[in-house]
Structure 1
């Protein structure tokens, strides 16, 4: 028999861990508007102020959608797109010749780029996920493979 821990607590905790930084990031952009706008202006797109406002809305609203389950797949899809676009437009590590060196200017961009795509992967799992493996089953068989999607019938 599945427990509340299996059905609610662990999936909720996983979602909070996945998206918990985004509302804090939105708040940081509001509090440090000038710095955030200056960073947005470094990208190739026009209207950095408008982009910043849109980013704040995405970072504030979509995590709530994901955690509450209200159109969570749509919210995860939008947030995954936001993370991918942010990585490609604002963390262009390849533009720095010494990005891999210890004191290279692009090193932080390198890691931010790949962290963003790690988030994209987690968010896409919310989009396509469906059911979760019960926490009690994971505890009983911690090294077993996760649930696989059922094949569709022709």
Structure 2
């Protein structure tokens, strides 16, 4: 049996990881909810189909799923679902391959940030939330 340096801290590290991974989503989702009309306008500007529905889905995924992940409720499936959502937002919201600099560089960074977040979500989907979660109770 291999011993990890952080094995005794695993559950607290997973809690911190969950919070750090999703705080961006919770804050962004709250902003989308409180400025819903602007969110619909932004979805329209992106060419999203059914912009009002797209805005509602964004609020649901970012705010509601984000809060559930912080609480550690249905962590594995919701982390996987949020990873898919992040992939969709990367492809729809940051198509850097269709742009020229400086817009290209900024959107490429945002696209790669989304891929990094996906990696964290997939790791969370595999590892689970740890003991300090609703799933762990």
The residue aligned with 2:57 is 54
Match of residue 109, structure 1, among 99, 104, 107: 107
- Is the CA contact (8 Å cut-off) linking 2:26 and 2:62 kept in structure 1? yes
Asked if residue 29 in structure 1 is aligned to residue 32 in structure 2, the reply is: yes
> Cα offset for 1:50?
0.7
Distance 1:86 1:97 in 2: 20
- Is the CA contact (8 Å cut-off) linking 1:36 and 1:52 kept in structure 2? yes
The residue aligned with 1:20 is 23
Give the TM-score of the pair, scaled to structure 1.
0.71
> Cα offset for 1:90?
1.1
The residue aligned with 1:97 is 100
- Is the CA contact (8 Å cut-off) linking 2:90 and 2:114 kept in structure 1? yes
Aligned CA RMSD, in angstroms, stands at 2.2
> Cα offset for 1:10?
2.1
Give the TM-score of the pair, scaled to structure 2.
0.79
Q: Could you say which structure has the greater relative contact order, defined with CA pairs below 8 angstroms and 6 or more residues apart? A: 2
Asked if residue 66 in structure 1 is aligned to residue 64 in structure 2, the reply is: no
Give the structure with the larger helix fraction: 2
- 1:89 alignment partner, SS class: helix
Q: Could you list the runs of 5+ residues in structure 2 that have no partner in the other structure?
A: 1-7, 131-137
> Cα offset for 1:109?
1.4
- Is the CA contact (8 Å cut-off) linking 1:42 and 1:90 kept in structure 2? no
> Cα offset for 1:131?
8.6
> Cα offset for 1:68?
2.2
